[in-house]
Structure 1
Amino acid sequence: MKVVVIGAGNVATHLAKAIYAANVQVTQVWSYHNQNAQTLANQINAKAIANLNEIDLDADVCLISIKDDAIADIANQLKDFRGLIAHTSGAVNLEVFANHFENYGVFYPLQTFSKSKDISFADIPLCLEANNESSLTRLKELAGKLSKNIVEINSEKRKMLHLAAVFACNFTNHLYELADEILKANQLEFDILRPLIVETAAKVQNAFPLDVQTGPAIRNDEQTLIKHQELLLQQPQLLEIYKILSDSIKKTI
């Protein structure tokens, strides 16, 4: 199997490296920034291409791993591709490819990726969808070389899964950032929170979040809630976030 990777960002980098590690040939890498494509290509013994018209039209699979808003435009530029084309987005419909390709699909790895941190694909859910059985079989073949956690899911459910992931991951990480700002403003180090963060994540591995919720809001500890809000009077954005989240937690009681 020969694979072309379109993109060289966080997801594309980890995915291309995982494919290469699984002894599947990645022949070409393209990126808006050719230096990024070259950097990734050098790591996986592939060729960096500067123009999409250089793409190997007979490659078995082309994986588009770029920002969601650009997928349709890139797909339009690749309409002569004869293999199976798939994107890695959680939010973009399968039918973005419908007017251009005979065989197409979605290859969505449900995980957070950063180039600076290595990660194993062995347990990552790979969410697959395709327009026909032969394309789905081909995606399963590739996915099976990377992970033992393969999920068939349609576009509508995948969008909701992606939405849930934004709450569980992206928003949570942003709250870490806000917590860090509070600490820094008071000459405290973020390291002091790390054991708390680890334990919070560990608890939901074996329980539902609602069953392990803690803190002043779930206890309906009004005096503490008032004190916290007073501390945030000079930071209206943080105060609003605090109130919204506290009220949301209270509604689960």
Structure 2
Amino acid sequence: MYFSLLGGPQKDENGEPILDEFSSMPLVKQYFCRLLSQLDYYKKAIREPSRNKLLPEPLKYPYMQPPYTLVLELTDVLVHPDWTYKTGWRFKKRPGIDKFLEQVGPPLFETVVYTAEQGMTVFPILDALDPNGYIMYRLVRDATHFVDGHHVKDLDCLNRDLSKVRISIASENVKDVRDVLEYYRQYDDPLEAFRENQRKVLEQIEQEEKEKKDRAKSLSFTNKWSPSFLSSRK
């Protein structure tokens, strides 16, 4: 069933098959190649950000672009998730967050929420948390890299000058951010040290992805199909 659904050609509004790069192949092979292409597409959709530039281009004169970008995590920065048998999941608002968002909003900061949570969870929370619209952009799970079971944020994709980006420090794997702050305190420029560590992580991710692709190419068995078998299914 999945072989037929994912391997079949797309159809136009009249229900006619649309020609693609696989249409000239023998029938079984074109279905198989389309299936691999679709699986690769879905894998990339999960592993890579949905777009290369997460934020639109900065506003040009005569419009006002705030000079700095403030990137905030949702979980344990703006709200704290709490679950009980009686109430289920609830999100507790951090005290003073209303005043905080008002103070860091335009014209000083372009406020962005960047989180690995699902959009269906994030958007209703932010709608209730920020009725005045101080948060200009919302980046959710589809804007992260998926690596070794974890969603990694990529500040280089923000489409902003990173020297003017200020970020919150929060992670679902960090129970107490004081340890993180203490670690980066040893550097003369903690923010630059953080960016360098992130750059190394992203380079490692890219190298691992390249190695996986190279292995996949070497192990590809599409060419191992018997030519006579494929030709017989034309």
Q: TM-score range by the shorter chain?
A: under 0.3
- Larger RCO (alpha carbons 8 Å, 6+ apart): 2
Answer with 1 or 2: which has the greater Rg. Answer: 2
